[in-house]
Amino acid sequence: MTARRRRTGPLLLAAAPVLAALLAGCADTDTGTDTGAAPASPPVPAASAPAASVPAPSAPASAPVETPAGTLLVADFGADTVTFVDPARGAIGSVEVGTAPYAVALGPDGRAWVSTAEGVAEVDTRARVLLRKVPSRTGTGPAGTGEYRGGAMGLALSLDGSRLYVGVNVPGRTGVLEVVDTAKGEVTGVAPIGRRPFDVDVSRDGREVYATGHDSFDVTVVAADSLATRRIEVAPYGTEGGLGSWLKPHYAAVRPGDGKLLLPFEGERLAVVDPATGRVAIEPMTADTHQHGVAVAPDGRLLVVGSGPIARDDRGPSLTVRDPGGGERVYPLGVPHENVALSADGRTAYVTGGFTRDGYWNGITLVDLDTGATHRLDAGRRPLGVVVL
C-alpha cells in the first residue's frame, strides 16, 4: 500500500436539544466479500435489459405510524434494512430495502431513497414502509456484501426531487451514473463515471452532478440535461500505487458560498475543486487521520469523519469541525466511523459507526459541537449513510 508522503509542493494544482439531556480507501484489494465480524456494541460488467420497478407488498392493517421530526434514518450496510433511530432512545423500527444498503437521500416529500447492491429502494419515512424497488440497469454481477460489492453506492436527488442520480460500482470496470425518474420509478439515462463512486452530489443550481470516483482519483462532472461528462483528477498525493493506494478521494461536499467541492484527505489536505475550471487548490488540515464522510452546514462549517490511522504515526478516529475561515476543532471518537449528518439546529453531529472496512461497530456517536461531549448509541447493523428526518 502506498504510504502517506508529507511534502510541501505548490498549493495549486491544475485540472487534471438531545445531547444536553443525554450527557450531564481504502486500498482496493479486490477480495470480494468482507468477512470481518462486528461487535454488538463499540469497544471503550455488461449492461442488461432495463427492469421495471418492483412495488412493495401492501402493508398489513395496523395502527398508523408517525415518525417524529429529528429521527435519524441509517442505511444498514451489514443487513438488508434501513433503521429509524430516535437520538434519545435508539432504534424504533426498520424497513427491508435490499442487500447491503449504502447511502440515503431524503426528498422534500418525506420519502427516502436508499442505494443497495441491486439498485435503489424508495421508503415512506413517515409511515415507515417500503414503497418500491428500482433495479439498476447496469449489470454488476450477483448481489454481494462488504466493501467491494457491486451495485449502487453514492446517490443524490435533484433539487426538485424529480430525478435521482445514482453512482453504480461495476467491479473491475469504471462506474456509471444512472438517472432514475422518481415519479415513474425507472432508469432513464446512464453516463460513464469513475471507479467505485463513493459519493454523488448536485450543484447549487441543479445543472451539474458530481460523482466522486474513489479508485480512479477523480470527480466526474455530469451535465444534468445532456449527461455529457468531464473528468477532474483529484489526487493531492499523486496516483502512485493505483488501486493499492490509501490516498484516494472518498466523499465530497458542495460549499454553500461558492459551489466549489470540498474533499478531505488524511487529515492533512483539503482539496477545493472548482468544477467550472477543473482547478484544484489545496488547504492544510490538522486531524492527521484517514478521512471518509463529510457534511456541510448552511453556515459553511465542514464536518469530516476521521476513521483512524493508516500509518504508525497517524492519530485515531475523530470528527473535525472546520470553520469557513479554516480554523479547526478536532474531537476524538475512539473507534472508527464512516459518515455524518447534522441536527436541524446545527448543534449536534450524528456520526455512523458502520465504516466500510473492518473495525466497524453497530451504532452512532452523538457529538455536541459546542462542548465536544460524545454519547454512543447502539443502532442499526453496520450503519453507513445517515439523514435527519
Q: Are residues 112 and 73 in contact, defined by beta-carbon separation less than 8 angstroms?
A: yes
Q: What is the mean pLDDT of the chain?
A: 88
Question: In the prediction, which pLDDT does 54 show?
Answer: 60
Burial of 300 (0-12, 13-18, 19+ CB in 10 A): middle
- Would you place residue 27 in the very low, low, confident or very high pLDDT band (cuts 50, 70, 90)? low
Helices (H), the chain: 19-22
Strand order in the sheet with 218-223: 197-202, 208-213, 218-223, 229-233
Question: In the prediction, which pLDDT does 57 show?
Answer: 52
Question: In the prediction, which pLDDT does 358 show?
Answer: 83
Is the entire prediction scored with pTM above 0.75?
A: yes
Q: Is the pLDDT of residue 18 over 80?
A: no
Residues 231-285 pLDDT 10s: 999 999 999 999 999 999 999 999 999 999 999 999 999 999 999 999 999 999 9
CATH class label, 52-388: mainly beta
Residue 292's closest CA among 165, 153, 171, 160? 153
User: What are the extents of the domains in the chain?
Assistant: 52-388
DSSP code of residue 60: P
Q: Is the pLDDT of residue 112 over 80?
A: yes
Q: Is the pLDDT of residue 216 over 60?
A: yes
Residues 33-66 pLDDT 10s: 333 344 444 443 444 444 556 665 544 445 567 8
